[in-house]
Amino acid sequence: MPGTISKIVHFRDEEEFLEDMMEIVERFTYLASRYGHNVIEGILLWDYIGIQDEEGVKIFRVGEFPYFEGTLKLDLETLRIMERYFDEMESKWDELRVEDIAYFVEMLNEALGREIVFYEAYDLGLDRNTAYIILNLLNLQYLESVVEGTDREIFEEAVQMLMKYI
């Protein structure tokens, strides 16, 4: 993607980081709706997994299985197998490492007989308290040159919050 950079960022408090990122994304999404250019093209936390269903790949966090069970378009047997594996991962949450998640995903896909669960954080070198962010610098420069008034304040607040992590 032209004009993008990828960066691994570190943080101390995951909850604070997620709240900040939600605010940053909300601000940039608002500006993108007005000006057609979004700065944040992607965020991947150490515990994000992708699951392929009939509609495409959906991204979830380990520990959210009870929430995504109703959103996945998969047969009941596949969901039950996944539930067992995710329950096992969640039971070890405090000591869970990226290597453990990668292993569970590999075993889960083997149990399913097909590769529908994806885990990229291990390959990217992420760990707890890290995230992978994709930023579009061309869009950032564009917004910086065109936003005015209250949109300028929204833009500057988003950039300031983002700089806290970059």
- pLDDT of 164 strictly over 80: yes
The pLDDT value given to residue 1: 55
pLDDT tens for residues 13-33?
999 999 999 999 999 999 999
3-state secondary structure the chain: CCCEEEEEEECCCHHHHHHHHHHHHHHHHHHHHHHCCCCEEEEEECCEEEEEECCEEEEEECCCHHHHCCCCCCCHHHHHHHHHHHHHHHHCHHHCCHHHHHHHHHHHHHHHCCCCEECCHHHHCCCCCEEEEEEEHHHHHHHHHHCCHHHHHHHHHHHHHHHCCC
* Mean pLDDT, rounded, for 83-92: 88
pLDDT tens for residues 115-156?
999 999 999 999 999 999 999 999 999 999 999 999 999 999
**pTM for this entry:** 0.83
